Amino acid sequence: MAKKNQLGVTPLSEDVSAWYNELVFKAELADRGPAKGTMVIRPYGYRIWELLQSQLDQRFKDTGHVNASFPLLIPMSYLQREADHVEGFAPELAVVTHGGGKELDEPLVVRPTSETVIGEMYSRWISSYRDLPVLINAWNNVVRWELRPRIFLRTTEFLWQEGHTAHADEDEAMEETLRMFDVYVEFALNVAAIPMVKGEKTPGERFAGAVRTFTIEGMMQDGKALQSGTSHYLGQNFAKAFDITFQDENNELQHVHTTSWGMSTRMIGAVILAHGDDAGLVLPPRLAPIQIVIVPIGRGEQAEAPLAKCRELAAQLEGLGVRAHVDDRDASPGFKFNDWELKGVPLRVELGPRDLEAGHVLVAQRVGERDDKGRPVKETVEFEEFVTGAPERLDAYHDQLVARATAFRDERSGVADDWDTFAELVGRGFAYALHCGEPSCEDDIKAETSATPRCISTEDGFAGEGTCIRCDRPSVYGHRVAFARAY
């Protein structure tokens, strides 16, 4: 068993998995619920979710979407109307068989996703081309039975948003699918500070019922991929299953084309695993419940004046829209420093009697320069300069996290044109390789290396044709496929 740090968490550098499992509890992000696989998101973790929600929701509204609420309980027969969909979700369903003290005539499933019930509602609401497009999102909870649950990453219940749109034709629906895919890529980078690997899923990895699925995949610090958001073009599959039709401008009856797209509380897991370190969480400032923690230094009467100044600074920071917190607990500075490091607060400010006299604070970054003993190098900054410069300082810190995560991702990624290189790369990160597109060949690769195709990369430099990395068949996608072990 790896040595734990002073706060009781196994170092990430020793065992990513143990570190993760211990940290989510120790940092009070989440806890296990009583029913197997369920999770409790504690206030500190839930605040991250609220910040994610508000910033993602704004992007949905800016792209013309509105929110709505659909029922949790769906008649079992609805899922059966789309063949691929029920095949994909049947093994994961939670089923309500009794309600109000009686056995139900037809069992109800707790929604694993809402394409079916929303399809039914859209069929009632849409009748003319004038009703299109329908651009609706829902923030809710879904249940998918998990045999090997892990908090945030795989839980029987999770929170998410599911967007569902209906369009007059394929072009418009594909445009929407890619628009929301781009929103996820941009959001992940600019809010969560995660440079995602992005592209289309291979047929074997598509959403159950989709024609095309686009995904963002983050690289975690154990080199594994974490699927963090998906956007699906559903074609007319659900439109036909639920009879969602409209009169077009020529008075002809057409089926709509639909899309769906989702991001979940799993994204909190991505943030933990992409940025954390041996000392605990590292939160990107735009998702940090506390962006700047201010620690007054001094004992007894000597503590009063610094504490008052700390509160004044915090109020000034709040006025600039910065989430600041004064730690006035009755505990040693060392305890507080460790605690806020564990909780991943971006900036820590110290202010003692001598600093007050000198008119400055000491600023330490959660991730930044360290001295010989591994302690953060503190910067001395005048009060006013510190306050007015805080938003910019947080932006710079965000950029620094992006640069660090990008360097890590790129260092652990590479092009593989032979099997040995491929096996070595997927052992520690992402391998970009040509592939034949056969599901059986994907299975062989998985059996041998645990790696799966994460996406067909359409980014610059990854176009290519040739022979499959694994078999003798020719490659099919015109682009390399990013393979990795995945959560």
Q: Which residues bind a copy of itself (CB under 8 A)?
A: 31, 33-35, 38-43, 46-47, 49-50, 66-75, 78, 90-101, 107-108, 110, 117, 120-121, 124-125, 136, 140-141, 143, 145-147, 156-157, 159
Whole-number Å distance between alpha carbons of 386 and 163: 41
Nearest-approach distance from CB 336 to a copy of itself, in angstroms: 15
Nearest-approach distance from CB 77 to a copy of itself, in angstroms: 9
Nearest-approach distance from CB 324 to a copy of itself, in angstroms: 15
Looking at the Cβ atoms of 143 and 363, the one nearer to a copy of itself is: 143
Looking at the Cβ atoms of 152 and 408, the one nearer to a copy of itself is: 152
Nearby residues of 9 by Cβ (< 8 Å), 6 or more positions away = 19, 22, 23, 26, 280, 342
Q: Report yes or no: 184 and 229 within 8 Å, Cβ to Cβ.
A: yes
Indicate the helix (H) or strand (E) that contains 174.
helix 170-190
Looking at the Cβ atoms of 214 and 242, the one nearer to a copy of itself is: 242
Nearest-approach distance from CB 476 to a copy of itself, in angstroms: 34
Nearest-approach distance from CB 38 to a copy of itself, in angstroms: 4
Nearest-approach distance from CB 121 to a copy of itself, in angstroms: 6
Whole-number Å distance between alpha carbons of 257 and 240: 10
Bond into 453 cis (ω within 30): no
Spell out where 256-378 has E strands: 257-264, 292-296, 324-326, 347-351, 360-365
Looking at the Cβ atoms of 146 and 222, the one nearer to a copy of itself is: 146
Q: Report yes or no: 213 and 200 within 8 Å, Cβ to Cβ.
A: yes
List C-alpha distances in Å: 296 to 264, 309, 381. 37, 9, 15
Looking at the Cβ atoms of 72 and 174, the one nearer to a copy of itself is: 72
Per DSSP, the three-state class of 272 is helix
Nearest-approach distance from CB 292 to a copy of itself, in angstroms: 19
Looking at the Cβ atoms of 248 and 417, the one nearer to a copy of itself is: 248
Provide the H-helix boundaries in 191-327.
Answer: 237-241, 266-275, 304-319
Looking at the Cβ atoms of 34 and 321, the one nearer to a copy of itself is: 34
